[in-house]
Amino acid sequence: MTRGSASEDLFSPIELRSGQVLGNRIAKAAMEEGLAGQAQLPDDRLINLYRRWGIGGAGLLITGNVMVHAEALTGPGGVVLDADTPLEPFEAWARAGQVSGAAMWMQISHPGRQVEAAMPGVVWGPSDVAVDVGRHSKRFGRPVAMTAEQIGDTITRFATTAHRAEQAGFDGVEVHAAHGYLLSQFLSPLVNTRTDEWGGSLENRARLLLEVVRGIRNVVSPTFAVAVKLNSADFQRGGFDADDARRVIAMLEPLGVDLVEISGGSYESPAMSGRPADGRTAAREAYFLDLAAELAATSAVPLMLTGGISRRDTAERVLASNVAVIGMGTALAVTPDLPHRWREHLPAAGTLRSVTWSDKPLASLAGMAMVRYQMRRMAAGQNPALGVRPAVALLGDQLLKRRALRRYSRWLASTQRVETGSLDAALRA
């Protein structure tokens, strides 16, 4: 297993703990595409999009959120993979990303309390602490604290999704424990106020993440990669911090984790959009490099850094900081063949317009809408259009979400999703 260092090159391979070899150190990081088709399945749009990235030269492609619980989606365009889902669309999706030899990993997630109020289904959290984004807080549903049985079912759901991802031909999964989603909520002392074995000390707050990873490792093959996306910090006073991250990485190491991706922030403090509350990482590329370099100094698990990387010199600086893999999101939505361009020492196609609105939650939404606009264009066989205005992208995104919400609501109402017994049966299959 090789860790990043100054002697490594962006285009050198890396062998992971599972024995899986990535062809280079460049990864397409997860971005929420919002492109689920009928029955919340991947269709030709996602297949076209990932084929485009598959021929772009990255060694690793990580999908956007694939949800483990059909009644708990971040948005109505989310893909669902559970015990009842047909695998054929996922098999086609995996093959599209692997077309030129890249590894294809599925990011698997549960939103917990970060569910829009208009969505049907459930809004769960470790506690009944609601999302606080000021005047936009009413956009989110009010969470209820999960029962011990619901926590157990969730562990099984993650394992089921990972098992079925391997059956569909994916090369690995990434467990999303960052950005304020459910597993990140359990890690946060601000959100997790439980007094049972799932709350209190960091060991208890990390228990759900550790049980999820154990559950996955128990049902997938040794050569199937298992990664975790973890916040370097929540960037909220009194929240999950870098020392917590260091300790959680050490807890993950004995469980056979191949890679830990370092990011940061949540809906309440959208550091992943380049607006962290920590002055060390504000207004520049590689938002979380300082913290990632500190974590890499003690981590026995290879680290991947995502957040604002778009230039080769920045990527090389990150690699020289003992980070093993460079993750890029927006940069590859703008220039899908950027890794090939870097090989030829060519620049990116350009950059998106800056969103300078004073309303940070709204600005974060607009920034994500601009990225999704580019992904929709590539999914339709077109090239990115970098001149799109933030307000135009946000309006279009909201209109498409309304249409997707109607479709998702009808589908959910017509479908009886599986309970724990069926989940257990799926794992035994």
| Span 112-136, pLDDT tens digits | 999 999 999 999 999 999 998 788 8
pLDDT at 236 over 90: no
Type and span of the H or E element at 26: strand 26-28
Give 314-361 pLDDT, tens digit per residue: 999 999 999 999 999 999 999 999 999 999 999 999 999 999 999 888
For residue 179, the model assigns a pLDDT of 86
Q: Is 101 exposed, middle or buried (0-12, 13-18, 19+ CB in 10 A)?
A: exposed
Residues 84-110 pLDDT 10s: 999 999 999 999 999 999 999 999 999
Q: What's the pLDDT tens digit per position in 14-41?
A: 999 999 999 999 999 999 999 999 999 9
Which range (2-11, 16-25, 411-420) has the least confidence? Answer: 2-11
Determine the average pLDDT of the residues in 408-412. 96
Average pLDDT, the chain: 90
Chain centroid to CA 170: 16
User: What band does 265 get if pLDDT is binned at 50, 70 and 90?
Assistant: low
Per-residue pLDDT at 2 exceeds 50: no
State mean pLDDT over 185-206.
96
Whether residue 62 has pLDDT greater than 80: yes
In sequence order, what are the beta bridge partners of 140? 116
Whether the predicted pLDDT of 3 surpasses 70: no
**Closest listed residue to residue 77, CA positions, set 122, 124, 32:** 32
Q: Three-state secondary structure along 139-189?
A: HECCCEECCHHHHHHHHHHHHHHHHHHHHCCCCEEEEEECCCCHHHHHHCC
Question: What confidence score (pLDDT) does residue 211 get?
Answer: 98
pLDDT attached to residue 28:
98
Give me the pLDDT at residue 271, please: 44
Stretch 42-68: mean pLDDT, rounded?
Answer: 98
* pLDDT band at residue 279 using 50, 70 and 90 as cut-offs: very low
Does 244 have pLDDT greater than 80?
yes
- Per the model's pLDDT, the better-predicted residue between 249 and 360 turns out to be 249
Q: Looking at residue 121, what is its pLDDT?
A: 95
CB within 8 Å of 282: residues ≥ 6 apart: 275, 276
Percent of the chain with pLDDT over 90: 78
Give the model's pLDDT for residue 273. 45
Question: Tens digits of per-residue pLDDT, 153-185?
Answer: 999 999 999 999 999 999 999 999 998 999 999
What's the confidence (pLDDT) of residue 7? 42
Residue 115's pLDDT is what? 94
Q: Is the pLDDT of residue 1 over 80?
A: no
Q: Which amino acid is at 108?
A: I
Sketch out the chain's domains with CATH numbers: 14-428 (3.20.20.70)
pLDDT of residue 280: 41
pLDDT at 309 over 70: yes
Residue 303 has pLDDT above 60, yes or no: yes
Asked whether the beta carbons of 41 and 8 are under 8 A apart, the reply is: no
Q: Is 422 exposed, middle or buried (0-12, 13-18, 19+ CB in 10 A)?
A: middle
Task: Supply the pLDDT for residue 174.
Answer: 98
Q: Which residues pair with 112 in a beta bridge?
A: none
**R_g over Cα of the chain:** 20
| pLDDT band with cut points at 50, 70 and 90 for residue 289 | confident
pLDDT band at 272 (very low <50, low <70, confident <90, very high): very low
Mean pLDDT for the stretch of residues 222-233: 92
**CA angle 110-123-275, nearest 5°?**
65
* Residue 128, pLDDT score: 96
**Which residue type occupies 185?**
Q
Give the model's confidence band at 237: pLDDT under 50 very low, under 70 low, under 90 confident, else very high.
confident
**Which two tokens mark 409?**
């609501």
Task: Please give the pLDDT value at position 145.
Answer: 98
pLDDT of residue 246: 93
Question: Which amino acid is it at 94?
Answer: A
pLDDT at 204 over 50: yes
Handedness of CA 373, 105, 304, 11 (dihedral sign): negative
Asked if the model's pLDDT at residue 278 lies above 60, the reply is no
pLDDT class for 287, splitting at 50, 70, 90? low
What pLDDT score was predicted for residue 423?
46
Q: What share of the chain is helix, strand, coil (3-state, %, to 5)?
A: 40, 10, 45
